[in-house]
């Protein structure tokens, strides 16, 4: 009987899950001894915080930052060690306190290198933490104390505007932002939408996370890393963004054009749009439709709206309240090309000023009857025999087109077609006419 009882107790102990480690504040993880090394170095700890840098950024694509009310910390993890986390997610992190680059503290999550370590999401879909107000000097001189913390520096400018990554980049970049006192770094992670975005034309509020240099050949020092272009919020008239849809239209065919506006650092109360030359609009205020929270109380200014200009007042556009202006029955020009809808914005009492990048819409012409179009080419397969390579030919007309006698051939280095590698379409091959509006029969040899 005694042996049976012991066995049952032992089995019960094996089935009982281990107690969770006590959660400690992040400030305890960052606490240093007299020599500047973490007091908890090599110990397994558990902390709870909100995600400030999500999965997918930074060079590893899997490191994150979290913060609680006492500070922030980098969480370095193996690719298989964590679920995907987003900004604002609340997480429990268990891992080993470690040191990088001499004395920079981080928590290492690795099932093999730190047994029992893992990341658990306790709630998702939360807003980012309230930002800590900092100055460039505080970031520059005290960045280590704020590492991993979501922060904002206000009213800064770009001393070197040409260093803004206006084109798409392949590596992480950096420049500086400055106020009247001094400057600090701003990091551009190549995985954000900042690359290729319009630079701020004037002073702006910069939201982001205080982190050390993210570049491959990193230098000592700290800066602000915005997770997206929307975290860089330009102030004053001329700020904001505008996108147009549809992206492409047919020449001479009436279409409804939608212009989506978004504000940035200050509320925009007025917007205007100049239509491109050659585009026709009624100029009637009733043919302008407004939508979205940013235009909830807005109206079309009748005496400032014409066949080539639309003006809206009473708007309330900011980074969380967008609005859409839809122009009904716009007629593009009769020739192919593109047209730019020149957008301007103004804050209360300000002057309508052009935004940094106005949207354009491409104009295409309908093909003549019997014309075939090469719509898409995929010529780079895994090898020369890759069956995924194709050329897509489209029939936009109203009647079937025969492919009898058509061939595909290589072009030599001189640009002459007619090499030895010929592929002839079967004599019976045709591309049928569209059977209904919007349908485009195709073939992919």
Q: How far apart are CA 122 and CA 355, in angstroms?
A: 41
Average pLDDT over residues 242-271: 96
- The bridge status of strand 64-68 relative to strand 401-402 is unpaired
Separation in Å, CA 327 to CA 232, 314, 336, 394: 29, 18, 21, 31
Mind giving me the DSSP string for 55-117?
TT-TTTSS-EEEEETTEEEEEEE-TTS-----TT-EEEEEEEEEEETTTEEEEEE-TTTSTT-
The position carrying tokens 């700290």 is 222
Question: How many H-runs (helices) and E-runs (strands) does the chain carry?
Answer: 3, 32
The position carrying tokens 């980098």 is 74
The position carrying tokens 């268990």 is 94
Separation in Å, CA 293 to CA 77, 316, 358, 401: 41, 8, 21, 50
Cβ burial of 216 (10 Å; 0-12, 13-18, 19+) is: exposed
> What are the pLDDT digits (tens) for 85-95?
999 999 999 99
Find out whether 260 and 243 touch, Cβ atoms under 8 Å: yes
> Residue 444: is its pLDDT beyond 80?
no
**Which helix (H) or strand (E) is 14 found in, with range?**
helix 2-15
Q: How far apart are CA 210 and CA 138, in angstroms?
A: 11
The dihedrals phi and psi of 14, each to the nearest 5 degrees, come to: -70, -30
The dihedrals phi and psi of 142, each to the nearest 5 degrees, come to: -125, 25
132-234 and 241-364: same fold? no
The dihedrals phi and psi of 363, each to the nearest 5 degrees, come to: -120, 125
Structure tokens at 224: 């602000």
Q: Which is higher by pLDDT, 381 or 401? A: 401
The CATH fold assigned to 132-234 is OB fold (Dihydrolipoamide Acetyltransferase, E2P) (2.40.50)
Q: Exposed e or buried b for every residue in 398-432, given b needs 16+ CB within 10 A?
A: eeebebeeeeeeeeeeeeeeeeeeeeebeeeebbe
Average pLDDT over residues 56-61: 76
Domain ranges of the chain: 26-123, 132-234, 241-364, 373-443
Average pLDDT over residues 282-286: 93
What's the Rg (C-alpha) of the chain?
Answer: 30
> What are the pLDDT digits (tens) for 201-221?
899 999 999 999 888 777 778
Strands, sheet with 288-291, edge to edge from the N-terminal-most edge strand: 241-245, 255-262, 323-330, 288-291
Q: What's residue 19's pLDDT? A: 45
Q: What's residue 18's pLDDT? A: 42
- Determine how many CB atoms are found less than 10 A away from the CB of residue 290: 18
Class of domain 26-123: mainly beta
> What are the pLDDT digits (tens) for 315-334?
999 998 999 999 999 999 99
Q: What is the CATH number of domain 241-364?
A: 2.60.40.2230
């Amino acid at each position: 009987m005694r042996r049976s009882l012991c066995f049952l107790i032992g089995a019960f102990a094996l089935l009982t899950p281990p107690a969770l480690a006590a959660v400690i504040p992040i400030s305890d993880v960052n606490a240093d001894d007299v020599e500047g090394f973490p007091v908890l170095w090599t110990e397994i700890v558990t902390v709870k915080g909100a995600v400030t840098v999500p999965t997918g950024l930074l060079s590893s694509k899997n490191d994150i930052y979290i913060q609680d009310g006492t500070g922030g910390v980098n969480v370095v993890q193996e690719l298989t060690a964590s679920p995907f986390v987003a900004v604002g997610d609340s997480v429990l992190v268990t891992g080993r306190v470690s040191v990088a680059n001499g004395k920079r503290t981080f928590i290492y999550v690795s099932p093999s290198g730190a047994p029992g370590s893992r990341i658990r999401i306790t709630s998702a879909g939360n807003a980012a933490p309230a930002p800590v107000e900092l100055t460039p000097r505080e970031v520059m001189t005290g960045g280590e104390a704020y590492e991993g913390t979501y922060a904002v520096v206000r009213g800064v400018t770009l001393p070197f505007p040409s260093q803004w990554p206006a084109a798409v980049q392949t590596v992480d970049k950096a420049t500086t932002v400055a106020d009247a006192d001094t400057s600090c770094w701003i990091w551009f992670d190549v995985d954000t939408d900042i690359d290729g975005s319009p630079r701020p034309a004037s002073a702006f509020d910069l939201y982001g996370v205080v982190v050390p240099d993210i570049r491959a050949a990193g230098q000592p020092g700290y800066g602000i890393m915005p997770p997206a272009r929307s975290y860089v919020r330009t102030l004053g008239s001329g700020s904001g963004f505008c996108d147009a849809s549809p992206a492409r239209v047919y020449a001479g065919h009436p279409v409804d054009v939608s212009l989506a506006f978004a504000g940035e650092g200050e509320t925009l109360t007025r917007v205007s749009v100049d239509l491109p030359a050659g585009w026709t609009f009624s100029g009637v205020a009733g043919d302008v439709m407004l939508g979205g929270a940013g235009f909830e109380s807005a109206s079309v200014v009748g005496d400032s709206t014409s066949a080539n200009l639309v003006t809206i007042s009473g708007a309330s556009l900011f980074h969380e309240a967008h609005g859409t202006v839809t122009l009904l029955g716009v007629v593009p020009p009769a020739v192919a090309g593109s047209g730019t809808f020149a957008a301007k914005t103004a804050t209360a009492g300000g002057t309508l000023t052009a935004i940094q990048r106005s949207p354009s819409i491409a104009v295409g012409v309908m093909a003549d009857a019997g014309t075939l179009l090469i719509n898409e080419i995929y010529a780079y397969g895994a090898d020369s025999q890759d069956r995924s390579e194709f050329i897509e030919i489209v029939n936009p007309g109203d009647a079937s087109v025969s492919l009898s006698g058509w061939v595909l051939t290589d072009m030599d280095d001189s640009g002459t077609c007619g090499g030895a590698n010929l592929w002839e379409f079967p004599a019976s091959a045709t591309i049928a006419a569209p059977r209904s509006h919007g349908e485009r029969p195709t073939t992919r040899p």
